[in-house]
């Protein structure tokens, strides 16, 4: 089975979202003015964040540092609803 699928099966998604959002709220002021529209992959347990111009870049950086973790991905300056809506429109 795919490694990522195995990781997802072990994760409490509600907890990941809650804790990831909590970390984002504490760091977003550092990123919003300069990196609006970029992405942060957040590892909630450590509180580490990984910046990328795309979600893929941010996630790859996070995976390199934490290969056995699942990340909370956020588009800087956007709500999750805006991010999801934009992904469907593109």
Domain boundaries, the chain: 3-89
Over its length of 90 residues, how does the chain's per-residue pLDDT go in tens digits? Answer: 456 666 667 778 888 889 999 999 999 999 999 999 999 999 999 999 999 999 999 999 999 999 888 889 999 998 764 454 444 444
Round to whole Å and give the CA distance between 48 and 72: 11
Which ranges constitute the DSSP H helices of the chain? 3-10, 13-35, 55-65, 80-89
Round to whole Å and give the CA distance between 48 and 85: 27
Q: What pLDDT score was predicted for residue 17? A: 86
For the sheet with 72-75, list strands across it.
Answer: 48-52, 39-43, 72-75
The structure tokens listed for 9 are: 């099966």
């Amino acid at each position: 089975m795919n490694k990522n699928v195995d990781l997802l099966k072990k994760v409490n998604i509600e907890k990941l979202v809650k804790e990831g959002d909590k970390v984002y709220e504490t760091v977003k002021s550092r990123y919003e003015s300069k990196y609006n529209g970029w992405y942060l992959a957040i590892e909630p347990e450590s509180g580490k964040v990984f910046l990328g111009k795309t979600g893929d870049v941010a996630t790859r950086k996070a995976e390199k540092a934490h290969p056995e973790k699942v990340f909370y991905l956020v588009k800087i300056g956007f709500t999750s609803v805006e991010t999801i809506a934009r992904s469907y429109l593109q």
